[in-house]
Structure 1
Amino acid sequence: MHYLKVGIAFIFLGIFSANAQYTETINSNRPGESQGAYAVGKNVLHLEAGGYLGNDKHSLFNSDTDILGASYGLRYGFLTEILELNFFGSFQDQVTSVPVGNGADEFRTTNFRSNTIGAKFLVFDPGISVKERKVNLYSWDANQRINLRSLIPAVSVYAGANFSWWENPYMFEGESIISPKAALITQHNWGRWVLVMNFIADKFTEEYPSYGGIFTLTHAITPKFAVFGEFQTYISDLYADDLVRGGAAYLFGKNFQVDISGLVNFKDTPSRWQVAAGVSYRFDFHEDDEYIEDTYEGDRNQRGEELEETGFYKENEDDDGSNE
């Protein structure tokens, strides 16, 4: 019992003495689907929303589905710089047409496609925990070697719950109203390039769990404009797919961002495309006047000064623009 108390004390000491993660510019999870490793910052509130439209065509069912939807998100830095509480979801209207004889039958589905509430916790930050390599004044060759520090990612863990209510047509038969979601998140910062990887287990207590990964590479072209490419894979007995996304975002001031993106896949059961656009706005109630200067030039999620130089860096969502 004594060791348990000591362990809990160390955990709370670590949380409340954590170094600042606050950024001077907005750190939106849009427009992609992956979550970056860093939280938004203590007492910082993000509102993120957008619309999307697309089409699915299924070669086996001979169906054609037009999709229109909206995604939304709330993110809040709670208690400490390294803990974020968030809520993501989407509302979707779709019309499916199936040929019957010389005509076609149409079926309309309108409801919440997803709603997930969760928390993200930064467990390791190489910018704080790993000492930067010192310049060797006596050896040029030593200074040209690969900096192993840059190969060590920031690491976060995410835990959440999907929930639905009433009779939702987007739920599978027998699916629980509440189901778990978990993710391991890593982030590498290489100057104006950032690589984020998410390894996700979704609804893993259900009869048909889903596993997958999201791999996002972001590049800041100017201080206000950035582009990204993303690959996402789903592994499930009900639905398996590989998606490719791309897009861009522009920063208007330090608290407001707009974005546009699109996705395609490479199979016909169904074949898919979507386009999306959205906005992100930050309410900054941060009270700590100090924040860490980024030791990585161009950190997309964590540091304010470098974000002002590199601009937008995305973090976070699902093929419909939500965080499924």
Structure 2
Amino acid sequence: MKKIFTSCFLFFGFLANAQYTKEINSNRPSLSMGAYSVSKSILQIEAGLGFQKDEYSNERYNNHTLVDLQFRYGAFFEQLEFVADLKYDNTKQVVFDQKQNFNSFRQSSIGAKYMIYDSYRNYVEKRNVYSWKANQRYKWRRLVPAVAVYLGADFKGDENYFPKNMPSTTLKGMIITQQHINNNLSFVTNLIIENATDNDFRSYGYIATLSYGFSQRWSVFAENQGFFRKYEGVKQNFKDDCILRGGFTYLVNKNLQLDISGGTSIGNTPHKMNGQIGASWRTHKKYKQETVEGIE
């Protein structure tokens, strides 16, 4: 997970003019996107199997079986990656005694992310050979976030979750920040605009993710996500959501990560509860350049 393992290891083995990390840099299991790319010529696959219940009342609810699949590939520049995100949903809908099953790719997206600023790029921290105390002081540069931008197209395939007159293809944009507060703790924010070119269905959202690595292999995260929607002329009730999530990751090796997570919505109907397991895997790449010593 990008917030977890880059927070623990990103600057150890960080390369001049590069974003390659010794350990896998995954977006899972949170739903936020990290600022750093997977690095040029690396292919990364992140997949998850989940279950979700949308409860309106005891007599009306939806049970979902969800499959998430994300492909990330770094190309042209170290700061650039292309992302394909697929979400498949098999739903069992129960309304009193009536049952209905339907399934589809609820939403798919294709886009590109580019990191426009990193305070540690081309930076080499100097040690004070005369003062141990000076070397142990907190490095305030850590609080300066890396910043990336994302632009992509959303393809909406399930009318049960979107207004029927919403365009099937819409534009999505995102501003991403990532801070490594210390060697174990990191904070990621995503500011999101969806349906950007459509005045009737434009919506805004955010994701804030705090991650902590408490050992070399185990890490934990907590996340809050919110949406602000105003769909003009739509009778269906697409309310704003506030969602809380949390979970754990386990680093099997430097190229493979396993995860488990869960979440719930607050203050809205339907009440949503979900859980998911997943894995992230990448092709490996070896750099020959001289590494730059990271933060301690």
Q: 1:44 aligns with which of 33, 42, 60?
A: 42
1:71 maps to 2:68: yes
Residues 123, 222 of structure 1: alpha-carbon distance in 2 compared, 3 angstrom cutoff: same
Kindly state the Cα deviation for residue 272 of structure 1 after the two structures are TM-superposed: 1.0
| Identical-residue share of aligned pairs (%) | 33
Instruction: Tell me how far apart the structure 2 counterparts of residues 283 and 27 of structure 1 sit (CA, whole Å).
Output: 12
Summarize the Cα distance change of 1:128–1:91 in structure 2 as closer, same or farther, 3 Å threshold: same
The match for 1:9 is none
User: Residues of 1 paired with 2:292 and 2:34: CA distance?
Assistant: 18
**1:127 is the counterpart of 2:124:** no
Matched, 1:280 2:277: no
Normalising by structure 1, report the TM-score. 0.77
Q: 1:62 to 1:240 in 2, by over 3 A?
A: farther
TM-superposed deviation, 1:66: 1.0
- Amino acid of the structure 2 residue aligned with 1:265: S
User: In the aligned structure 1, how far is the partner of 2:129 from the partner of 2:239?
Assistant: 53
Match in the other structure for 1:290: 289
Could you tell me whether the CA contact under 8 Å between 1:67 and 1:92 is conserved in 2? Answer: yes
**Matched residue, 1:13:** none
Residues 222-260 of structure 1, C-alpha deviations (whole Å, 9 max, x = no match): 111111111111111333011110001111111111100
Give RMSD over aligned pairs.
Answer: 2.4
Say if 1:20 and 1:290, in contact at 8 Å, map to a contact too. Answer: no
SS class of match (2:47): strand
Q: Which residue of 1 aligns with 2:233?
A: none
CA contact (8 A) 1:133 1:147 kept: no
The amino acid of 2:253's aligned partner reads: G
Q: 2:29 aligns with which of 13, 16, 31?
A: 31
1:155 to 147, 155, 160: 147
Distance (Å, rounded) in 1 between the aligned partners of 2:290 and 2:266: 44
Q: Which has the higher contact order (CA 8 A, sep 6+)?
A: 1
- DSSP 3-state at the match of 1:55: strand
Aligned partners of 1:21 and 1:292 also within 8 Å: no
| Distance change (3 Å), C-alpha of 1:173 and 1:81 | same
Deviation track 1:4-34 (CA, whole Å, cap 9, x = no partner) reads xxxxxxxxxxxxxx80111122111110011
Q: Answer yes or no: is the 8 Å Cα contact 2:125–2:295 preserved in 1.
A: no
- 2:76 alignment partner AA: L
Q: In the alignment, which of 171, 176, 183 is matched to residue 174 of structure 2?
A: 183
Judge conservation of contact 2:241–2:268 (CA < 8 Å) in 1: no
Q: Per residue, is there more helix in 1 or in 2?
A: 1
- Contact map agreement 1:130 1:149 (CA 8 A) in 2: no
Structure 2 gap ranges (5+): 1-15, 231-237
**Structure 1: which 5+ residue stretches go unaligned?**
1-17, 298-324
Distance of 1:200 and 1:220 partners within structure 2: 26
**Alignment partners' CA distance in 2, 1:295 and 1:56:** 45
1:233 and 1:252 map into 2 onto residues whose CA distance is 32
**8 Å CA contact 2:239, 2:268 repeated in 1:** no
* Change in CA separation of 1:225 and 1:235 when aligned onto 2, cut-off 3 Å: same
